[in-house]
Structure 1
Amino acid sequence: MASEQERYLNRTTMMGMVVGSMVGAGIFSLPATFGNATGPFGALIAWTIAGTGMLMLAFVFQFLAVRKPDLDAGIFTYAKEGFGNYPGFIAAFGFWAGSCLGNTTYFILIKSTLGAAIPAFGEGNTVPAVFVSSIVLWSIHFMILRGVKQAAFINKIVTVAKIIPIIMFIVIVAFAFKKDLFVENFWGGGEYNFRDVIGQVRRTMLVTVFVFIGVEGASVFSRYARNRADVGWATVMGFLGVLCLMILVTLLPYGVLLRPEIADLRQPSMAGVLHAVVGTWGAVFVSAGLIVSVLGAYLAWTLLCAEALFTASRYELVPKAFGHENKNGVPSTALWLTNILVQIFLILTIFAQYAFDLTLEMTSSMTLIPYLLVAAYGLKLGLTRETYESDPGRLRRREMAFAAIACIYSIFMIIAGGLVYVLLGCILLAPGSLLFIFARRELKLRTFTPIELVLFSAIVLGAIVGIYALVTGAITL
């Protein structure tokens, strides 16, 4: 039996969870993704918008960790406390299901990368690719069952290992950087007016959401923190460090290649950029870094998924069975369901033509919902003055501003993503709500309040419309 002291995580380990969660596949695809959409000027605007919005959200996580230390599961407990049981469930289920979809994309990308050398893996969704992915999936599953502390330590080592190739990429490309080439690319390679630049920026918005997912990593594991202040420190410092890496990875390639050349690079495009600078070994080096990075991100997100479902049970949002821990203090039942769902998604990718793109975009849209609810709860605390009884008005206004900007950003991103992903999200949430219904019946409590019933009905209606749109071809996958 693991002792309480052994299960604690210090601030550097928790920061590693944040960095490990955020630095996955996305950062390796940034050069071509941005190069296909815009030039350095548009990229700077995009990162300013995304960086500001997500930094405000990181600040919200920071001050909520201190003001509400009893809410030690983060991402959905704030929604439950602020808006009721069913919104809390929506936040928990959205985070969990979206994360499971995200884990599926990791396996697809690894096998797609290896597919260049092993044709049987194809685009990452062939039968051999799914078979090998399944072996990795269950190997990591049984490793995590041996203890969260051990898995977190391994994640810390992997995080360091995957940051090294990214740092080397930045250093090498910085030395090869040509100012004149960067200036030529600056406006996107042509004459554009303000409207054109805004259009370019919109094309990058969902990408920035995906690469920032994981900023809540320390908050989700806050029950393991030695000190609650460590949660906020790990969140903000981890975010700022990753933001700097992403901006450099995005902008530096414009100084070594023309924008059309960057846009035409195959993914992972960081490999193509380094190949252009130093040759074949650079592409191999980055591809190896990608595999390590994705495996590390998968480990972190598996922990996050299981922890989210486990704590949802503790807060009586899903059946009690998911609150079971094994002798090593691991939420084993939640972990089993998480990886069974990932396994199902993996099998389904065999029959899906655009599995990677769909799961990536769905992960972003599903995660924005709990982000919005967290920001809204931070704003609610300020408006009601709860926890601010002895604080100066200046502090309350500042934290309200953080929460308000985070709310606006989250709403903007949901709208920018489009109605399609809202409807697809409803298709997942409607049947998933059965877990909430079973939990309420298990407790012999009223299932929905009147407002919650309206919300549930809207989700069911959205699911019906979404299914109809899929059947008729109005929405294509």
Structure 2
Amino acid sequence: MAEDSTSTAAPESGTAGAAKLALPTLTMMVVGSMVGAGVFSLPRRFAQETGVAGALIAWAIAGTGMLMLALVFQTLAVRRPHLDAGVYAYAKAGFGEYLGFFSAFGYWASACVGNVTYWVLIMSTVGAIAPALGEGDTALAIVLSSIGLWLFFLLIRRGVKEATTINRIVTVAKLVPILVFIVLALFYFDADVFADNFAGADYAGSLFHQVRGTMLATVFVFLGIEGASVYSRHAKRRSDVGRATILGFLSVFAIFASVTIVSYGLLPMAEIAQLRQPSMAGVLEAAVGTWGEVFVSVGLIVSVLGAYLAWTLMAAEVLFVAAKDHDMPRFLARATAEDVPVPALLMTTLLSQVVLVVTAFSDDAFNFALDLTSALSLIPYLLAAAYAVRVARAGDTGTPGVPAGRTADLLVAGLATVYTAFLVYAAGLKFVLVSFIVYAPATVLFVMARREQNRRLFSPRDLVVLVVSTAGALVGVVALAAGWISL
């Protein structure tokens, strides 16, 4: 298939009341999307898998790989400025409508599951003083989380511009406790404890095993790197999309790596691995006392609520733009005068509600939701990186006055593709199969959209993808029923 043969013109830039976002707001969308629940859980997630050496290698790999992805989104924003909702549009342009649909659905589902991790972590945090909430997976915790889900639905429904303004304020506020944690951790840093943690504990296994075990955690904390690209139709200048992506990435990478590494200088990794989530609070409590735990816990709640807002906005945006491009049922293309895609927002909240209930049946609700969020995002990322390879190989910029830069673009896109392929391997068979279970039923929406347009349902290539995804889902269901894998 010729490159871009399935791409369509970008949809209208919203209604007359659409909000137009400048570089600072777009950058805050990226930072706000990435700095959420993940950073507060990093000490325990890493200590369960690796020591200092493995953590340094893992962050080097993740930082390089995610930087390549950030550069891919920056390059495609310039080379293909007519493509809106980046992750979804790039997959469709490069590999056809069905895989484009899967990319849109996968990214959306990933955001919905990610939203559930936020509520689980909030309830787990409050559960430290209210035992009835447990670790965020009790009946009371699920009821309170459900109330929060629908309150945010009502807030966002009032208007995109208003919600993004709140997100910008919250993003600044939530960075303060994280930066204070890093400074205090450095002040109380114990070089002997750090040295003992360098090689890792006996339970960690080989260095390769340690690094692999941290990969999904690093993916989760970097989810949202495409935030500016997904929201590109609201940008004042398309060039700001790429700049916001790089600025946001560099800012949060420094924060994430610092939080992880300095924690190894405060407690033995075996103790960190046993801390209650959010583990950052437990680490700081060990250094400065109870007030440190309270300080981080309050910061977490502010941070998580801000990230939840940003992720919900982006998830609804992907469904909305996919429907405008006729790849989702037309009811999802409806929006209010304030440019709020209410049906897409409602569907996003409903899926989050379903997943929230499912967590009650998981052995470890937070870690399961976190890893599933990462796994669901891998296909959209992989397809976007692979599309960038095709664009670089073609050599055309698609934009007058933009130099080709073919060799550099091909190198960046190739590295991003290799990195995301490695992440699929690192995810392991369990989460690949569970992802298929989520992906396969989504084809119903694709069929609805095609029938609305009186179009053929599947091409021969699409049928191959359908068979593979359905077979994977069936194997996944059998594996769950037989107990080979568990939630």
The TM tier, using the shorter chain, reads over 0.9
Aligned letter for 1:147?
G
- Equivalent in the alignment of 2:417: 407
Alpha-carbon offset, residue 387 of structure 1 = 2.1
Cα separation, 2, equivalents of 1:386 and 1:456: 32
- Equivalent in the alignment of 2:299: 289
1:234 aligns with 2:244: yes
1:120 aligns with 2:132: yes
- Equivalent in the alignment of 1:465: 475
Alpha-carbon offset, residue 216 of structure 1 = 0.7
Cα separation, 2, equivalents of 1:171 and 1:30: 17
Cα separation, 1, equivalents of 2:269 and 2:251: 26
Alpha-carbon offset, residue 4 of structure 1 = 4.7
Aligned letter for 1:265?
L
Quickly say closer, same or farther: Cα 1:474–1:185, change in 2 above 3 A: closer
1:25 to 22, 28, 37: 37
Cα separation, 2, equivalents of 1:224 and 1:196: 47
- Equivalent in the alignment of 1:107: 119
Quickly say closer, same or farther: Cα 1:390–1:330, change in 2 above 3 A: closer
1:438 to 423, 435, 448: 448
Cα offsets for 1:38-84 (capped at 9, x unmatched): 22211110000000000000000001001111002111100101110
Query: Secondary structure, in 3 states, of the residue corresponding to 2:81?
Result: coil
Query: 80-89 or 114-123, which moves further after superposition?
Result: 114-123
- Equivalent in the alignment of 1:144: 156
- Equivalent in the alignment of 2:311: 301
Cα separation, 1, equivalents of 2:250 and 2:109: 27
1:46 to 39, 58, 80: 58
Query: Secondary structure, in 3 states, of the residue corresponding to 1:242?
Result: helix
- Equivalent in the alignment of 1:186: 198
2:99 to 87, 92, 96: 87
Residues 217 and 370, structure 2, Cα contact 8 Å, conserved in 1: no
Residues 227 and 314, structure 2, Cα contact 8 Å, conserved in 1: yes
Quickly say closer, same or farther: Cα 1:187–1:355, change in 2 above 3 A: closer
Alpha-carbon offset, residue 183 of structure 1 = 3.0
Alpha-carbon offset, residue 470 of structure 1 = 1.4
1:177 aligns with 2:177: no
Cα separation, 2, equivalents of 1:79 and 1:122: 41
Alpha-carbon offset, residue 5 of structure 1 = 7.5
Aligned letter for 2:123?
K
Query: Secondary structure, in 3 states, of the residue corresponding to 1:350?
Result: helix
Query: 168-177 or 179-188, which moves further after superposition?
Result: 179-188
How many corresponding residue pairs? Answer: 473
In the TM superposition, 1:78-477 aligns within 5 A as 78-188=90-200, 196-387=206-397, 395-477=405-487
Query: Secondary structure, in 3 states, of the residue corresponding to 1:204?
Result: helix
Alpha-carbon offset, residue 107 of structure 1 = 1.0
Cα separation, 1, equivalents of 2:185 and 2:31: 22
Cα offsets for 1:356-414 (capped at 9, x unmatched): 32221111111010000000010001112232797666x21101111000000000000
Structure 1 runs not aligned, ≥5 long: none
Cα separation, 2, equivalents of 1:381 and 1:22: 27
Cα separation, 2, equivalents of 1:113 and 1:11: 34
Cα separation, 2, equivalents of 1:6 and 1:264: 47
Residues 285 and 292, structure 2, Cα contact 8 Å, conserved in 1: yes
Aligned Cα RMSD in Å?
A: 1.9
1:70 aligns with 2:101: no
Alpha-carbon offset, residue 190 of structure 1 = 7.5
- Equivalent in the alignment of 2:28: 16
Cα offsets for 1:258-293 (capped at 9, x unmatched): 333333322211111111211110011001111111
Aligned letter for 2:276?
R
Residues 332 and 343, structure 2, Cα contact 8 Å, conserved in 1: yes
Query: Secondary structure, in 3 states, of the residue corresponding to 1:255?
Result: coil
Cα separation, 1, equivalents of 2:190 and 2:362: 42
Cα separation, 2, equivalents of 1:188 and 1:460: 40
Cα offsets for 1:274-333 (capped at 9, x unmatched): 112111100110011111111111111111111111011011111111000012110011
Structure 2 runs not aligned, ≥5 long: 1-13
Aligned letter for 2:407?
R
Given the two structures, how large is their TM-score scaled by the length of structure 1?
0.95
Cα separation, 1, equivalents of 2:258 and 2:188: 14
Quickly say closer, same or farther: Cα 1:341–1:392, change in 2 above 3 A: closer
Aligned letter for 1:201?
V
Cα separation, 2, equivalents of 1:287 and 1:329: 34
